[in-house]
Structure 1
């Protein structure tokens, strides 16, 4: 993804998180005054689904998701890159299935309302295919980058270090 799109994604996730915090705070204050905002909790839950997918994509791009790489780290460079590409292909296939099923779920929920807010439930369920597409695009980009370097380098671009941080390797 381009740098501008990455900044927009990060800004959007941060903005939505701030709105969630504000909504929950205001709902608590208004409830204390005896005037609950019933719709605010529904809207905060809806936004949380979107923030979760945006955050998952941002973490995937930074390779910050938890992983068990004890055996993979012991593989030499080329087999490790090939294994990473195969695992990315499996994940992309899974995300593709989830995107299709999420789209179908969204179409089924066009008329259903989300709680007392009057917001169509489809706004919640559309986060699944949208998030899966974002995650798949990130995985495709990472796999393409790794495979393109496979021709020129003996080792993969990134690997988890013993302390868990990302280290860039050189040939």
Structure 2
């Protein structure tokens, strides 16, 4: 199962990189052709779709690679046991927040089905689907980090930083 997860993680990383490069190229090409008097009308909308997906995939990558913004300025002065329990509590809060994102993201997808991105001819649900899908992926990554935090002895807390 771990092997499958890490293969998926590599695919997700490659997809996020592809989306970032695509956004850059689409926006640059759109601006360049607009200055030539031949605008590419669909490029901005395609960049919007790519940006929505890249944001949530990139957030999952940040969680997986422990690149989240922390409040270590305060917590590093606490005893290691308290640091460990605070980390566990914060991860649980993150999971609860992500569950809320899934719930309301699903509502956004349903309401977005009725809207159409005119220049692309696709439903706006393709954009809003990034919210529940990305939140689900982040729950998996956060849960893995939560289990690691629970298993790690408090006396070893903060050694890997």
The answer (yes or no) to whether the contact 1:38–1:117 under 8 Å persists in 2 is no
- Separation of aligned partners in 1, 2:122 and 2:101: 23
Q: 1:70 aligns with which of 73, 97, 107?
A: 73
Counterpart of 1:9 in structure 2 is 12
- Separation of aligned partners in 1, 2:32 and 2:83: 53
CA RMSD of superposed structures (Å): 1.8
Q: 2:55 aligns with which of 52, 56, 61?
A: 52
CA shift at 1:18, angstroms? Answer: 1.3
TM-score scaled by length of structure 1: 0.83
TM-score scaled by length of structure 2: 0.88
Q: 1:88 aligns with which of 82, 88, 91?
A: 91
1:168 equivalent to 2:160? Answer yes
Counterpart of 1:31 in structure 2 is 34
Residue deviations 1:126-167 (CA, integer Å, cap 9, x gap): 1111111111111111010111123xx5233xx4xxxxxxx5
Residue deviations 1:89-118 (CA, integer Å, cap 9, x gap): 111011101111101110111120125332
- Separation of aligned partners in 2, 1:64 and 1:85: 16
Residue deviations 1:18-51 (CA, integer Å, cap 9, x gap): 1112212222232233221111100101101111
- Separation of aligned partners in 2, 1:68 and 1:78: 16
Residue deviations 1:35-83 (CA, integer Å, cap 9, x gap): 2111110010110111111111112222222222223112222222122
The answer (yes or no) to whether the contact 1:81–1:155 under 8 Å persists in 2 is no
Listed as ranges, the gaps of 5+ residues in structure 1 are: 160-166
- SS of the aligned residue for 1:74 comes to coil
